[in-house]
């Protein structure tokens, strides 16, 4: 009897133990089973449910929860969890794993600048780890440091020649750096789906391209401008160089039917990339200005500039050119201007850019204009991208003349700027929409000051991989944007085709 009662008691306790298994443990077991089968979203939900039910287990489950959030496309939620783990890691393995997870979370939320030091730390501790080394190269490239990425990934491939993913990453860095020739060479013999896609994209980018463009502008003084362009460009040396030809035509009309000017401008252009650090661009044409009731005027417009990248953070452009003014009076008088310019772009991180521009213009009526501009822009978020910034412009003329173009003795303006870009389905969608706005105040001597604005919208639709249609609209009141000093509205449509 005693034995029977004892056995009954043992069975009862076992049954109670089974039925009393805590609910959090069920969730934990389910989460780990889902994680083993790469059902990451389900695993993340179960880990979260277990921690809510048993908060005392939070620290124990924290890294596992963060990992599942990371691999279920919830990297932003994973970041604070990894940071919490790294405040007091329980051992070296947890510290290394959480550091790598945090680095990946930063990468996948477009914060490559924050990911870089984490992967540098990991690479110093685990120099033979192929995945860590590749991710450091990825952090350099995604952070806008393409030259550093190219050097680092080339060394990585020497150590790991069979790493096809690193070959693709190196080729992408070279393409972003403006070296499609090097990218195609890197991809030779790499048989992967991502390599095939990148190769096709690079080849499309350097294929012959045709352009048709139409634009209409209306100005607050009644001036109407119709513009049309057709063009063809051809790359050579696997995209290292380009030659192009364009035909442009402009119809200027006073709006009251009293005056008009027709401008025709055939242009040839070229580009050559000398090295990773130096590129030349140039174009030259012959402009024919036909004012109503007056003799035809002709001159040779041109533009040339050399770009120098001493490193990934700095870019310098030195330019020289000659062009006309876009107003009836200056065109009738045959007044053009010769420009010398220097600009510098500084990008300390992938989220910020500072630009300085200097330009001197010798106007062929004997006047001179000296201009300086400072601009800064900061990216607040990605996908969609959103930027805020500021722009200061200052210029002076030697004399104030009445020859059609805006020529105050002194002018300055300060604008706050915002800009955003949305792409459907990330970078693989058909639509890309960009909006920009600027507000501020300008002051000129002797005219005085006034508030100003500049609003623009661009919407591009990729019909198929080879054809792209773009609509644009702009409205600005600032006299920095038009030589006449009047407000202007613009709408335009561009169709490009790659062959």
Identify the pLDDT of residue 14. 43
What length does the chain have?
499
User: Do residues 443 and 411 lie in contact, with contact meaning Cβ atoms separated by under 8 Å?
Assistant: yes
Please count the other Cβ atoms lying within 10 Å of the Cβ belonging to residue 13: 10
Q: What is the CA radius of gyration of the chain?
A: 31
Segment holding 371, helix H or strand E: strand 368-381
Identify the pLDDT of residue 3. 52
- Domain locations along the chain: 18-204, 208-498
Does pLDDT of 7 surpass 60?
no
Three-state secondary-structure class, residue 470: strand
Q: What would the pLDDT profile of 436-495 be if each residue is shown by its tens digit?
A: 999 999 999 988 888 999 999 999 999 998 999 999 999 998 655 555 557 889 999 999
The token duo for 61 is 């489950």
Identify the pLDDT of residue 79. 95
Q: Kindly tell me the sign of the dihedral angle through the C-alpha atoms of 140, 143, 146, 147.
A: negative
Q: What would the pLDDT profile of 235-281 be if each residue is shown by its tens digit?
A: 999 999 999 999 999 999 998 888 999 999 999 999 999 999 999 99
DSSP category for residue 56: G
Residue 277 has, within 13 A of its CA and on its CB side, a CA count of 7
Q: How far apart are the first and last CA of the chain?
A: 94
Among 35-39, 241-245, 293-297, 404-408, the range with the most confident prediction by mean pLDDT is: 241-245
Distances (CA, A) of 317 to 139, 195, 306: 27, 33, 6
Identify the pLDDT of residue 480. 55
Rounded to whole angstroms, how far apart are CA atoms 27 and 49? 7
Q: Kindly tell me the sign of the dihedral angle through the C-alpha atoms of 21, 26, 27, 33.
A: positive
Indicate the burial class of 311 (C-beta count within 10 angstroms; 0-12, 13-18, 19 or more): exposed
Fold of 18-204: 1.25.40
Look up the pTM and report it: 0.86
Distances (CA, A) of 27 to 33, 52, 66, 232, 392: 10, 11, 16, 63, 58
Three-state secondary-structure class, residue 77: helix
Indicate the burial class of 456 (C-beta count within 10 angstroms; 0-12, 13-18, 19 or more): middle
Does pLDDT of 28 surpass 50?
yes
Identify the pLDDT of residue 6. 46
CATH 2.40.37.10, applies to 208-498: no
The token duo for 322 is 């000659």
């Amino acid at each position: 009897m005693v034995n029977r009662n004892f056995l009954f008691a043992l069975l009862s306790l076992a049954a109670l133990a089974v039925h009393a298994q805590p609910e959090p443990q069920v969730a934990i077991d389910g989460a780990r089973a889902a994680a083993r089968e790469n059902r990451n979203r389900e695993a993340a939900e179960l880990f979260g449910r277990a921690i809510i039910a048993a908060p005392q287990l939070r620290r124990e489950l924290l890294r596992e929860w963060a990992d599942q959030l990371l691999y279920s496309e919830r990297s932003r939620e994973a970041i604070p969890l990894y940071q919490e783990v790294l405040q007091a890691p329980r051992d070296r393995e947890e510290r290394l794993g959480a550091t790598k997870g945090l680095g990946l979370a930063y990468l996948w939320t477009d914060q490559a600048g924050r990911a870089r030091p984490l992967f540098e730390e990991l690479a110093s501790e685990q120099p033979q780890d192929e995945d860590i080394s590749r991710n450091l190269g990825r952090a350099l490239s995604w952070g806008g440091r393409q030259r550093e990425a190219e050097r680092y990934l080339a060394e990585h491939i020497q150590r790991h020649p069979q790493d096809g993913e690193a070959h693709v990453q190196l080729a992408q860095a070279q393409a972003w750096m403006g070296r499609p020739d090097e990218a195609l060479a890197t991809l030779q013999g790499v048989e992967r789906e991502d390599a095939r896609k990148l190769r096709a994209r690079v080849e499309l980018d350097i294929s012959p391209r045709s352009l048709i463009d139409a634009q209409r502008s209306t100005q607050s003084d009644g001036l109407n401008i119709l513009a049309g362009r057709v063009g063809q460009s051809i790359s050579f040396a696997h995209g290292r160089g380009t030659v192009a030809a364009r035909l442009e035509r402009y119809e200027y009309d006073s709006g009251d039917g009293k005056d008009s000017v027709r401008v025709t401008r055939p242009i040839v252009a070229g580009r050559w990339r000398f090295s990773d650090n130096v590129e030349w661009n140039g174009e030259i044409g012959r402009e024919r200005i036909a004012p109503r009731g007056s003799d035809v005027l002709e001159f040779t417009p041109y533009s040339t500039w050399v770009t120098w990248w001493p490193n990934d953070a700095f870019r310098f452009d030195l330019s020289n050119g000659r062009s006309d003014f876009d107003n009836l009076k200056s065109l009738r008088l045959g007044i053009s201007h010769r420009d010398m310019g220097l600009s510098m772009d500084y990008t300390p991180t992938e989220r910020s850019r500072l630009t300085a521009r200097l330009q001197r213009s010798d106007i062929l009526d004997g006047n001179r204009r000296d201009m300086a501009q400072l601009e800064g822009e900061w990216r607040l978020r990605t996908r969609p991208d959103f930027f805020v910034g500021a722009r200061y412009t200052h210029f002076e003329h030697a004399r104030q003349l009445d020859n059609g173009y805006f020529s105050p003795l002194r002018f300055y303006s300060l604008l706050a700027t915002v800009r955003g870009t949305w792409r459907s389905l990330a970078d693989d969608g058909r639509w890309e929409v960009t909006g920009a706005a600027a507000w501020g105040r300008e002051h000129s001597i002797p005219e005085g000051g006034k508030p100003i604005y500049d609003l623009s919208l661009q919407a591009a639709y990729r019909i198929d991989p080879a054809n792209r249609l773009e609509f644009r609209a702009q409205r600005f009141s600032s006299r920095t944007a038009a030589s006449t000093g009047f407000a202007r509205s613009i709408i335009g449509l561009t169709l490009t085709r790659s062959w």
